[in-house]
Amino acid sequence: MKKYYSFCKCNICIDAPLFFHENAEWSLFETEACQPDVGIYCKRCSKLPKPEGDYLGKNGDAHAYSNSTRVYRHVKMGTDNGAVTLFDYADPSVSETFIGEANYHIMTDSRLIWNSISMQQIMLANSTLFFHSSFIEYKGRGILFSAPCGTGKSTQAALWEKHRDAEIINGDKAGVTLHNDLFYACGIPICGTSGICKNKTLPLGAIVLLGQAKHNTVTQIVGVQALSELLKNIYLDFLVPEERIMCIDLLEKLIESVPVYRLLCTPDENAVEALEKALMNGGVFDE
């Protein structure tokens, strides 16, 4: 059974024997049948294929293997069968995911399916990164508040909604994609526990890295410092050398064209005023 989705400037076809993502988030991004940019083929099986090539290591439940052209990523479910995704760098538009039938419904739960099908790695090959961030629209631009859990992403997004009538597009995650030499902030069909998930794509105005403080300060960061800080908030396991190179190349282009700010802030309207002033002075918004 095939279903078609569109996000991050990309048309995606997912072909699966049992359709797993019948949920509100995925339905917002469903589209008509089309020629896909990415085809993801899922197979339910009693025995997973054995990964081939050199073992590259693990990150969490993900284990990566690579031979000369193909990458295998084995996501384990404890000691049981999980899922194995493989794709060829010569043709990153097509991937295969084998999912153990005993854990099919768990591995394809909306909270796990992104890892099961290695969506982050597949979309990286299509010039897209996924950020741990709250994503708002203000004055026609996408602004990302990015930081580790508990730092205040949702708080700052809510403050902008309350005091500046900004729209929250996603409360926890965002896609950033390079398309026709421009970077866009993109809604994606997963939003953590925030419950805020909208299908909207906007020119990316700025990325704001948050920290808590007693007084509000805003500074623009550039170069290696911006690169190292952004890397901390990207969903990628960094096990495959080719993927690390692609990620860094994409981030370098991002930093050259989109400003990155550090906002040390209080949880009130004063933080909104301080950041808004910096964004206006930095020319983020059109006059």
pLDDT at 287: 54
Domain edges within the chain: 2-124, 128-281
What percent of the chain is predicted at pLDDT more than 90? Answer: 69
CA distance 41 to 68: 22
Q: Give me the torsion for CA of 84, 90, 92, 95, rounded to 10°.
A: -30
pLDDT of residue 20: 57
Residue 30, pLDDT > 80, answer yes
CA distance 36 to 121: 17
pLDDT in tens, 149-175: 777 899 999 999 999 999 999 999 999
Q: 103, 77 in Cβ contact below 8 A?
A: yes
| Between 196 and 149, the higher pLDDT residue | 196
More confident residue, 107 or 145: 145
C-alpha of 204 from chain center: 14
Range 22-47 average pLDDT: 88
Half-sphere exposure of 271 (CA within 13 A, CB side): 26
Q: What is the pLDDT of residues 55-70, one digit of tens each?
A: 999 998 899 999 888 8
Q: Which residue has the higher pLDDT, 38 or 81?
A: 38
pLDDT band of 192, cuts 50, 70, 90: confident
Model confidence at 90: pLDDT above 80: no
**235, 121 Cβ separation under 8 angstroms:** no
Which distant-in-sequence residues (6+ apart) come within 8 Å of 56 by Cβ?
64, 65, 66, 239, 240, 241
Average pLDDT over residues 78-93: 81
Q: What class, spelled out in words, does domain 128-281 have in CATH?
A: alpha beta
Give the burial class of 181: count Cβ atoms within 10 A of its Cβ; 0-12 exposed, 13-18 middle, 19 or more buried.
exposed
Q: What is the pLDDT of residue 19?
A: 62
Classified as helix, coil or strand, 116 is helix
Alpha-carbon distances of 148 from 59, 78, 123, 198, 209, rounded to whole Å: 18, 26, 22, 22, 9
pLDDT, residue 22, reads 59
| pLDDT score for 29 | 93
